[in-house]
Structure 1
Amino acid sequence: MPPTPPPDGTARPAAAVNEEIRALVLECGGWLYGSSRDRYEQLVEEWAAAVRVGVVEAA
């Protein structure tokens, strides 16, 4: 089951999302189909958003 986002709506850190992506890919042996592919795409979107937040905060 995917982790629940924090209740205040803050994003998880990019590193945490990246770890979940890595675990998912390892679990699937690198082959993402069906629901695992859908979850991967959601995680990549979440990761990209977290990276953008980090860039804005650094600026």
Structure 2
Amino acid sequence: KTTLMFGDLLPLNSASAVLQFAEQYFESSDGLIKRQDRPEVLQKGILARIPPLPSLSIVT
């Protein structure tokens, strides 16, 4: 899945938003959550968008 790295979050103000986002991320097939669907505090402040690792197929 794609991973988002957030910055400039205050722990006391963002903990519940991070938990809510974690649920959205878990339910997502690709890890991409639309900005308007994320908790308000996580709608900006993205430091990086990390693409998923390619799938490895092992030939035996």
TM-score between both structures, scaled by the size of structure 2: 0.36
Q: Which has the larger radius of gyration?
A: 2
Structure with the higher strand share, 1 or 2: 2
Q: TM-score, normalised by structure 1?
A: 0.37
Q: Which has the higher helix share?
A: 1
